[in-house]
């Protein structure tokens, strides 16, 4: 594809050769008729959702991803899905290689899901920024004084324990009723019960629209509940996927592919000007809050006043 710099989805900064990045696969939703619309409208946050695990690797100046650190985990999930070309012909994913990344950037990968084809793209995030935001949000406290990381860990612990207990009790109930001769549509009763438990749990954990279209969420909960694979690794992925959703919502962003692929631009000065504006605007608004009610806002730090929730 030729030498070029990538684009960090969150910072919009150029990504240079040999930089560590996180690649996020995204797909069109199945809820809207305009899922194939190019991502340049105000409704784009509703049109795209994350697909699969975050992919950790190193950016290559040929617009590729090399040294993928979690390829086996990524492939294990992606190979359970039905990818196609635009004409409906099956698309095989055997590795996270140059061809796959090129096809994602070129926009020729489709996913057949819920009886329709939806587009699949990718977005890149600088790994240093990704890690920094993950760390910041895991420690950031909400209105009730509990950090977001602690809240998520407790929610996953409590939710998965309750789901597993109910799932096992229901399986035990069905096994005792084996004389019913459960078969056909009745043979999936346990799985249908598990799905309803996950739906209720996702509502309680407050992940917004992510659950309705993000099959990886169901996939990871099922693995944790059924004891499939490394539980710590499953939890880590789950925490990252949900936290990334929280990060993007806080930054007023959604999921879609950014332009800039194929560009050799290394422009950074304009980004510095935007960053200065953001800092100045934040300071101005903090002063405005304090002036509006000095007594009330005096008990809060500048960071608390700039965050979504007050302590």
Whether 287 maps to a domain, the answer reads no
Q: Which domain holds residue 2?
A: 1-161+239-276
Give how many domains the chain has, as a whole number.
1
Residue 139 lies in a domain: yes
Distance of alpha carbon 55 from alpha carbon 75, whole angstroms:
10
Q: Which of 7-21, 132-146, 274-288 has the lowest mean pLDDT?
A: 132-146
Look up residue 76 and give its DSSP letter. Answer: H
Tens digit of each residue's pLDDT (9 = 90 or more) over 74-124: 999 999 999 999 998 999 998 998 888 888 887 899 999 877 888 898 899
> pLDDT by residue (tens digit) across 151-183?
888 888 888 888 889 888 888 887 776 545 555
In a domain, 296, yes or no: no
Task: Tell me, yes or no, whether 294 lies in a domain.
Answer: no
Task: Tell me the CA distances in angstroms from 225 to 165, 172, 195, 222, one per residue in order.
Answer: 9, 15, 12, 5
Q: Is the pLDDT of residue 43 over 50?
A: no
**Which distant-in-sequence residues (6+ apart) come within 8 Å of 304 by Cβ?**
310, 311
CB 30 within 8 A of CB 118: yes
For tokens 């990252």, the residue is 240
Whole-angstrom distance, CA of residue 210 vs CA of residue 124: 19
CA angle, 187 then 190 then 193, to 5°? 130
CA–CA distance from 255 to each of 46, 287, 305 (Å)? 8, 33, 27
Determine, yes or no, domain membership for 6.
yes
Enumerate the β-bridge partners of residue 144: none
Torsion of CA 52, 228, 81, 95, to 10 degrees: 70
Provide the residue count of the chain. Answer: 311
Query: Within a domain: residue 221?
Result: no
For the record, the structure tokens of 306 come out as 């700039």
Within a domain: residue 77? yes
pLDDT over 70 (residue 203): no
Whether 143 is covered by a domain: the verdict is: yes
Closest CA to 33 of 47, 19, 12, 20: 47
């Amino acid at each position: 594809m030729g030498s070029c710099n990538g684009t960090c989805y969150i910072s919009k900064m150029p990504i240079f050769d040999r930089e560590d990045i996180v690649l996020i696969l995204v797909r069109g939703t199945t809820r809207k008729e305009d899922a194939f619309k190019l991502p340049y409208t105000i409704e784009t946050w509703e049109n795209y959702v994350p697909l699969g695990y975050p992919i950790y690797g190193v950016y290559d100046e040929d617009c590729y991803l090399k040294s993928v650190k979690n390829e086996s985990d990524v492939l294990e999930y992606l190979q359970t899905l039905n990818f196609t070309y635009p004409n409906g012909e099956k698309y095989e994913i055997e590795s996270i290689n140059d061809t796959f990344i090129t096809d994602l950037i070129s926009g020729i990968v489709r996913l057949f899901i819920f009886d329709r084809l939806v587009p699949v793209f990718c977005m890149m995030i600088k790994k240093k920024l990704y890690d920094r935001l993950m760390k910041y949000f895991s420690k950031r406290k909400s209105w009730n004084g509990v950090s977001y990381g602690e809240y998520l860990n407790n929610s996953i612990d409590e939710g998965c324990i309750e789901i597993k207990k109910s799932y096992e009790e229901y399986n035990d109930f069905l096994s005792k009723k084996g004389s019913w001769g459960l078969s056909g549509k009745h043979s999936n009763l346990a799985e249908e019960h598990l799905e309803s438990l996950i739906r209720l749990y996702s509502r309680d954990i407050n992940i917004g629209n992510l659950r309705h279209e993000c099959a990886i969420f169901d996939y990871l909960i099922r693995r944790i509940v059924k004891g499939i694979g490394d539980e710590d690794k499953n939890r880590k992925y789950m925490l990252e996927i949900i936290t990334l959703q929280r990060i993007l919502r806080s930054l007023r962003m959604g999921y879609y592919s950014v332009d800039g692929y194929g560009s050799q631009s290394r422009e950074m000065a304009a980004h510095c000007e935007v960053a200065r504006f953001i800092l100045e605007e934040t300071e101005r608004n903090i002063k405005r809050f304090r002036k509006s009610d000095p007594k009330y806002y005096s008990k809060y730090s500048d960071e608390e006043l700039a965050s979504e929730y007050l302590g």
